[in-house]
């Protein structure tokens, strides 16, 4: 139910408050998505789409940081450390 899928904004089709919408690409499939809850989003941005509506933008920098933390966690285990977090 709370499934939200990341997709990349291809184009903004219409501006205007609660009907703001754009075309969003999900792994090769492009669908129209309501973008009124992400008013500052622009083509190239990744958004989280829940039942046809974008509920948030994905932060590229934070994603990189999370992946780096995950790798660090594994590396520290290989080195026998126990304090990575």
Which positions lie near other proteins, rule CB under 8 A? 1-4, 6, 18-19, 27, 34, 36-39, 46, 48, 50-53, 55-56, 58-60, 62-67, 69-71, 73-74, 77-78, 82, 85
Measured from the CB atom, is 11 or 72 closer to other proteins? 72
Residues 6+ apart with CB under 8 A from 52: 31, 32, 33, 34
Measured from the CB atom, is 42 or 67 closer to other proteins? 67
Shortest distance (Å) from residue 58 CB to other proteins: 5
Beta bridge mates, 6: 48
First to last CA, the chain: 31
What are the start-end ranges of the E strands in the chain?
A: 5-14, 21-26, 29-34, 46-50, 53-57
Shortest distance (Å) from residue 72 CB to other proteins: 11
Shortest distance (Å) from residue 43 CB to other proteins: 16
């Amino acid at each position: 139910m709370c499934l939200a899928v990341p997709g990349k904004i291809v184009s903004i089709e219409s501006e205007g408050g609660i009907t703001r919408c754009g075309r969003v690409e999900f792994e090769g499939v492009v669908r129209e998505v309501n973008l009124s809850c992400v008013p500052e989003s622009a083509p190239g941005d990744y958004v989280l789409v829940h039942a046809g509506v974008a509920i948030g933008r994905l932060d590229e920098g934070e994603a990189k940081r999370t992946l780096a933390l995950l790798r660090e966690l594994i590396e520290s285990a290989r080195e026998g450390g126990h304090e990575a977090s």
